[in-house]
């Protein structure tokens, strides 16, 4: 492959990657202008609220969720809140829920269970079924691992009362198990970047933003007008929130109202979550971007930000493509930066014009590589700065979280192969199986997720990550032998990332944890009254 051809391909990929990297800087700037939305503070008759809790096999966390929702109802007014448990479980979670519901109903709470007898449409199907059975005008939604604070409804409902065009109120996610292990610390930093920078940045700049699927309240009328919950993507929350805004409703973001939740404590569960988000968000992009682009009510800035937002997971195919280009550069002997200028050979019959052409090519290619390197560096450090700012704005020490800080970078690159596969699936099909992220209710180091069930099995992606690692080490060795050192750092970073992610996936997969499952399955679940 000629260096100029390789350079052209690399510049194309880098330019596309640079768009997303630059947007990090833009959102950081916009997020610094975030101000909490104001309300008058007037007292009002509290409207009735439905609380929808989609559940599927959540034996470890459903008890604390229902307890927290009842505390929230007690604070808001138990006669004003109906808690609807949307239970699609097919394990002993069903019996646990029945006992919990009976207990809280005896205490005067309006709690009910809705069972469909199947999982048609998965989470979106369960929410749509509940929507059809809901008479309340406002609906709060919480996933199984969340613990809503008691004043959640008191702090969200007033925004709907004072502005009938408010369709959704989204709150910030906190982390129950941030300090559990180095992985939960790393993932928490990544989630913080979304809720500390992305959401405030989009809100303060007047751009479209998303309901995150949990820890939010929706206006039933807005949801119905937007067409309700749809199972044709794996990101039903993102899909609905954009459709609600396209109907003229607003989304309010409350950065300072925090709802704690559990982050995945294992690599397999984290990869499953990211795979679903990657595939789902790109399906939403495929579904809604034509409508967004042609919408005359949206500004150019809103359309650009919507495009970047909905296609964000394309950064992973771009990462994987960069890795493949670097490997090809090594194996095919492409000298990415030539340090040897053309020799003067005019005296031996070489035309001056040929020499000038070679000099021009040498200068042009090297300057192009300098530009390329600057763009790569600017895009790469954007994510690090992003995470740094997210930590600093919370008053969290970066030095004390340095290991987690750098591990997050390796994980981000290491899951790029897995998410590239999901990106291709997003453009080839609609919907798909909603594979939930397992919740283990682990908060402290003494809590052992290994003794839980719901572990994620290995799949073909892990084998492909190992193959990518082997390919990377082969390319590194070839680059060393052929004296092409400029490409080695890029390949080495990707290679270590793939090997790290694959190793953790294998070590924490269902096959490695199966020896615990037989014991746990026989244990009785105790419900404290």
Specify whether 88 is catalytic: yes
In whole angstroms, what is the distance from residue 269 CA to residue 12 CA? 33
Q: In this structure, what are the phi and psi dihedrals at residue 256, rounded to the nearest 5 degrees?
A: -90, 0
In whole angstroms, what is the distance from residue 189 CA to residue 471 CA? 30
Specify whether 163 is catalytic: no
Q: Which residues contact 246 (CB under 8 A, 6 or more apart)?
A: 226, 288, 291, 292, 295
- Please compute, for residue 176, the number of CA atoms within 13 A of its CA located in the half-sphere on the CB side: 22
Q: Which residues pair with 83 in a beta bridge?
A: 51, 111
In the chain, DSSP finds a helix count (H) and a strand count (E) of: 18, 7
Exactly one of 87, 88, 192, 239 is catalytic; which is it? 88
In contact, 202 and 30? CB cutoff 8 Å: yes
Q: Which residues pair with 301 in a beta bridge?
A: none
Q: In this structure, what are the phi and psi dihedrals at residue 144, rounded to the nearest 5 degrees?
A: -65, -30
In whole angstroms, what is the distance from residue 322 CA to residue 324 CA? 5
In whole angstroms, what is the distance from residue 204 CA to residue 11 CA? 33
Q: Which residues contact 442 (CB under 8 A, 6 or more apart)?
A: 177, 180, 262, 265, 448, 449, 452
**β 111-114/138-141 pair status:** unpaired
Of 250, 149, 171, 277, residue with least CA distance to 217? 171
Q: Which residues contact 40 (CB under 8 A, 6 or more apart)?
A: 162
Q: Which residues contact 344 (CB under 8 A, 6 or more apart)?
A: 355
| Packing angle, helices 460-481 and 315-331, rounded to 10 | 40
In whole angstroms, what is the distance from residue 96 CA to residue 116 CA? 17
In contact, 425 and 262? CB cutoff 8 Å: no
In whole angstroms, what is the distance from residue 75 CA to residue 366 CA? 66
Exactly one of 87, 143, 145, 237 is catalytic; which is it? 237
What are the residue numbers of the active site? 88, 237
């Amino acid at each position: 492959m000629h260096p100029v051809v390789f350079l052209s391909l690399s510049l194309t990929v880098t330019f596309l990657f640079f768009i997303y990297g630059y947007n990090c800087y833009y959102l950081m700037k916009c997020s610094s202008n975030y101000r909490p939305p104001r309300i008058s503070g007037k007292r009002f008759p509290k409207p009735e609220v439905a609380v929808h809790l989609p559940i599927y096999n959540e034996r470890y966390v459903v008890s604390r969720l229902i307890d927290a929702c009842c505390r929230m109802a007690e604070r808001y007014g138990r006669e004003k809140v109906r808690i609807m448990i949307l239970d699609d479980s097919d394990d002993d979670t069903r019996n646990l829920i029945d006992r919990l519901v009976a207990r809280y109903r005896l205490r005067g709470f309006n709690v009910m269970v809705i069972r469909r007898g199947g999982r048609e449409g998965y989470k979106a199907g369960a929410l749509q079924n509940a929507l059809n059975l809901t008479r309340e005008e406002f609906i709060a939604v919480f996933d199984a691992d969340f613990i809503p604070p008691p004043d959640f409804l008191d702090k969200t409902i007033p925004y709907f009362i004072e502005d009938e065009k408010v369709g959704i109120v989204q709150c910030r996610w906190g982390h129950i198990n941030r300090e559990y292990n180095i992985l939960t610390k790393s993932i928490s930093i990544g989630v913080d970047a979304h809720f500390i920078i992305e959401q405030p940045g989009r809100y303060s700049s007047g751009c479209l933003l998303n309901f995150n699927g949990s820890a939010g309240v929706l206006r039933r009328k807005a949801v119905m007008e937007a067409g309700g919950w749809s199972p044709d993507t794996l990101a039903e929350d993102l899909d609905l929130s954009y459709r609600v805004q396209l109907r003229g409703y607003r989304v309010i973001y409350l950065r300072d109202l925090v709802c704690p939740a559990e982050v995945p404590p294992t690599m397999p569960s984290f990869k499953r979550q990211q795979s679903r988000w990657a595939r789902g968000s790109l399906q939403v992009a495929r579904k809604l971007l034509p409508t967004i682009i042609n919408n005359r009510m949206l500004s150019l800035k809103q359309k650009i930000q919507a495009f970047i937002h909905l296609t964000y997971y394309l950064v992973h195919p771009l990462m994987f493509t960069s890795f493949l280009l670097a490997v090809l550069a090594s194996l095919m002997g492409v000298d990415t930066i030539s340090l040897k200028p053309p020799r003067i050979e005019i005296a031996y019959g070489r035309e001056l014009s040929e020499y000038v052409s070679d000099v021009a090519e040498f200068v042009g290619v090297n300057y192009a590589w300098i530009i390329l390197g600057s763009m790569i560096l600017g895009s790469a450090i954007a994510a690090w700065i992003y995470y740094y700012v997210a930590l600093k704005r919370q008053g969290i020490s970066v030095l004390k979280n340095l290991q987690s800080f750098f591990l997050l970078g390796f994980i981000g690159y290491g899951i790029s192969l897995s998410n590239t596969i999901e990106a291709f699936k997003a453009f080839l099909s609609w919907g798909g199986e909603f594979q939930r992220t397992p919740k283990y209710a682990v908060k402290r180091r003494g809590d052992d997720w290994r003794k839980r069930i719901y572990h994620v099995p290995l799949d073909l992606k892990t084998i492909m990550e190992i193959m990518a690692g082997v390919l990377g080490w082969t390319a590194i060795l070839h680059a060393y032998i052929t004296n092409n050192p400029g490409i080695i750092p890029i390949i080495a970073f990707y290679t270590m990332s793939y090997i790290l992610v694959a190793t953790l996936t294998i070590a924490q997969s269902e096959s490695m944890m199966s020896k615990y499952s037989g014991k746990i399955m026989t244990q009785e679940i105790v419900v404290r009254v």
